[in-house]
Amino acid sequence: MKRHLLPLLLAATLSACGDGGFAPPMSSPVAGVRETVIGSTLITESSGLARSQRDAKVLWTHNDSGGNAEGFALDTNGQFLGTLALLAGNTGGTPITPLALDWEDMASFTRDGQPYLVFADIGDNNAFRPNLTLYVVAEPDLTGVATPFTMTVTPTQVISVSYPDGPRDAEGLAVDGESNSFYILSKRDAQPMLYTGSLGTAPLGAVLMSNLGAINIPRAPAGVANPESINWTTAMDFNQRLNEALVLTLTRAYRYHRNAGESWFVAMSRAPLAVDIPQYSQSEALSYTLGGESFLMSSENAPYPLAEIALD
């Protein structure tokens, strides 16, 4: 189903309420879209979103670049729950200091019954970084935790990743927990390329990814103004059942169905279903909800909107 929504949030008048939240914008008149804003002054560039693997009402996000190496917990109404700071540690006997150089996406997955979060330092606007970094942390159990909380965690894995065909910019990460593999989607290529690698289980890892090829996604017609608004991919996620993928651009989301026994690349080689999204100024993060009946998306620019879009 296609949905059209005026950017009501951009004209909304907000009243600050500290880190407890902001006054929400006026309600959207469009069925299937629920809007609010992210209620914390700590979150200034929501560049990635991931559902909790523990609680359907909890989301995780992070800022983009230049800040602390930390994630933030929200409820699905955008209310701030707390901060999760990544600590330096002797991972595999080697001192590792997490850095928020250019964090562009995150994902969640479950392995051997343990839920994890992955923070992806994969941004590279100028395509000069030979190695990127994935930080894997155990998702904390927030049951009974007073909010707003501050927690610390040492990554269980720090994985250095590189492309087989040279550096490029990327903002989309998804994880398949069943195969213990991660997928990265390039952002600025004429045709977005899908890369993959194994997460493994070692505390330290170095992964040369495989280039699976270009996905099937609409491209801007020749001569259109600002083609990057259509062509750039800014986020990616797999649903909990691992039979759907979503890819976000600045103006629309694209939904791919995966048949049983099919690879993600084959699924994403077919033409997707387009889903209209709220037209925010810089939409760069999305996540399926835990049940997969909807997805949430956010924008990096003020007033930091958070929208939930129902799926048929």
Q: How large is the average pLDDT for residues 152-169?
A: 96
Residue 95's beta-bridge partner residues? 90
Asked if residue 1 is part of any domain, the answer here is no
> Residue 175 contacts by C-beta under 8 Å, 6 or more apart in sequence?
107, 108, 109, 118, 181, 182, 183, 199, 238
Residue 20 has pLDDT above 90, yes or no: no
Residue 2 lies in a domain: no
109 has a pLDDT exceeding 90:
yes
**28: pLDDT strictly greater than 50:** no
The pair of three-digit structure tokens given for residue 175, joined into one six-digit string: 């994880």
- Residue 248, domain member (yes or no): yes
Question: What 3-state DSSP class applies to 229?
Answer: helix
d(CA 220, CA 188): 13
Interval 180-216: pLDDT, tens: 999 999 999 999 999 999 999 999 999 999 999 999 9
**The pLDDT of residue 165:** 97
CB 169 within 8 A of CB 187: yes
Mean pLDDT of all residues in 116-133: 96
CATH number, position 36: 2.120.10
Domain that holds residue 175: 8-310
Q: Based on the structure, what is the number of domains in the chain?
A: 1
In a domain, 228, yes or no: yes
For the question of whether the overall pTM of this predicted structure is more than 0.75, the answer is: yes
pLDDT tens digit string along 63-108? Answer: 998 778 999 999 999 999 999 999 988 776 777 788 889 999 999 9
Q: Is the pLDDT of residue 19 over 60?
A: no
Determine what percent of the chain is predicted with pLDDT higher than 70.
90
For 170-179, what is the mean pLDDT?
98
Distance from the first to the final alpha carbon of the chain: 7
Q: What is the pLDDT of residues 235-288, one digit of tens each?
A: 999 999 999 999 999 999 999 999 999 999 999 999 999 999 998 989 999 999
Q: What is the pLDDT of residue 58?
A: 98
Decide which of 206 and 12 is more confident.
Answer: 206
User: In this structure, what DSSP letter does residue 141 have?
Assistant: P
Asked if residue 275 is part of any domain, the answer here is yes
> By percentage, how much of the chain surpasses pLDDT 90?
79
Distances (CA, A) of 160 to 96, 130, 138, 312: 12, 10, 18, 38
Residue 3 lies in a domain: no
- Tell me the pLDDT of the chain averaged across its residues: 89
For range 23-44, the mean pLDDT: 70
Residue 294 domain flag: yes
Instruction: Confirm whether 16 is domain-assigned.
Output: yes
Q: pLDDT tens digit string along 48-61? A: 999 999 999 999 99
Confidence at residue 99, expressed as pLDDT on a 0 to 100 scale: 82
Task: Note the pLDDT tens digit of each residue in 277-298.
Answer: 998 989 999 999 999 999 999 9
Dihedral angle, C-alpha 211, 212, 218, 224, nearest 10 °: 20
